[in-house]
Amino acid sequence: MPPLCTAGYGLANGSMAMFFGAFYLFFINAVFIAFASFLLVGYIDPPHKRLISEELERKFKRYIYAFVFLTMIPSIYLAYGLVTAEMFNARANAFLKKEMVFENSYIAKQQLSANARTIEVTLIGAKIDEEKMTKIAKKLESYGLGFTKLVVHQTGIKELDEATLKNTLLGDVANSNRRVFEVNNNRLQGLEAEVAMLKTEKIQLAEKAKDEEKIFAELVAQYPSVENMALSKAIENQVATADPDSILLVHITAKKSFSRGDQKRIMAWLKVRVGVEKVRLSFSKP
């Protein structure tokens, strides 16, 4: 986030530390950009540069260097504090990982303060005696943590409550089984939905087959020369129109050819019988 945006965010949230920090960062950027431009112009020495007097130039440069130096002092201080805090945290973490490791106790919480030179930890488990903690605290100096205070809070637990442990384990198992049940239940519901859909499609296909058998029987009753018939509904796409149209495709195999009048009557009958607007007939002989 740009410094000015950060400053605005800090001001909006009432964080003056964030506001002044971001504004100071913006101020440093502006000062050193201007200073870099000043040095660049002095190095290039453009021909159009005109000096009023050498004394005024020297005075002007002294003011610039003094202003830049005064701007650098807080940043050096802040950088020093940041580096010192990072070094303290790194050394403190190394101390905790190496020295504060126990068989029946572990660190539940830790808090490091480079300014106060303190390491505060909370131990849970078997209680560590004071003599051992004193010996551990003396090792701080070997980690570069001289004048650092080690504060230890202990919550002694000699042995775990068997009932509590059992309830915890049973609760974990129950939660795990519940998640597995939910996953399997969702899969089962999906399979049941698919089976129901397949059953519906099967019923529809069976009804369609029965209806087509009736249509075939009715056609044979009218035209005994018919041997078989195939029906199929399709979507017809045409270049002339962008909207596709439904059409019934019918192929009839008969022993003899049908006259044009018979073909028209069959098409008209199929439109009414099947409930479609378009029918395309084709004929063949066995």
pLDDT one-digit tens code per residue, 23-38:
667 777 777 787 777 7
Return the amino acid letter for 222.
Q
- Could you tell me which residue, 14 or 199, shows the higher pLDDT? 199
* Residue 221, pLDDT score: 87
Q: How far are the Cα atoms of 69, 224, 227, 270, 271 from residue 249, in angstroms, in the given order?
A: 93, 21, 17, 10, 11
126 Cβ contact list (under 8 Å, min separation 6): 102, 103, 104, 105, 156, 157, 158
Query: What's the average model confidence in pLDDT over 210-226?
Result: 86
* Residue 7, pLDDT score: 45
Confidence band of 211 (pLDDT split at 50, 70, 90): confident
* Residue 190, pLDDT score: 84
- Describe the strand order of the beta sheet including 118-125 as a list of residue ranges: 105-113, 118-125, 149-156
Can you give the residue ranges of every domain in the chain?
Answer: 3-88, 102-156, 161-211, 223-284
Residue 202 has pLDDT above 70, yes or no: yes
* Residue 119, pLDDT score: 92
For residue 262, how many C-alpha atoms fall within 13 Å in the half-sphere facing its CB? 14
Q: How much of the chain exceeds pLDDT 90, in percent?
A: 4
* Residue 189, pLDDT score: 86
* Residue 3, pLDDT score: 47
Query: What's the average model confidence in pLDDT over 218-226?
Result: 86
CB 95 within 8 A of CB 89: no
Average pLDDT, the chain: 79
* Residue 10, pLDDT score: 46
> pLDDT digit string (tens) for 233-279?
777 777 666 677 788 888 888 888 888 888 888 888 888 888 888 88
* Residue 167, pLDDT score: 64
* Residue 66, pLDDT score: 84
Query: What's the average model confidence in pLDDT over 176-198?
Result: 84
| DSSP H or E stretch at residue 40 | helix 16-44
Residue 183 has pLDDT above 80, yes or no: yes
Confidence band of 44 (pLDDT split at 50, 70, 90): confident
* Residue 160, pLDDT score: 46
> pLDDT digit string (tens) for 112-156?
988 889 999 988 877 888 888 888 888 888 989 888 899 988 875
Instruction: Say how far apart CA 220 and CA 229 lie, in whole Å.
Output: 10
Nearest to 267 by CA among 249, 254, 255: 249
CB 10 within 8 A of CB 2: no
**3-state class (DSSP) for residue 157:** coil
- Could you tell me which residue, 7 or 254, shows the higher pLDDT? 254
Q: How much of the chain exceeds pLDDT 70, in percent?
A: 81
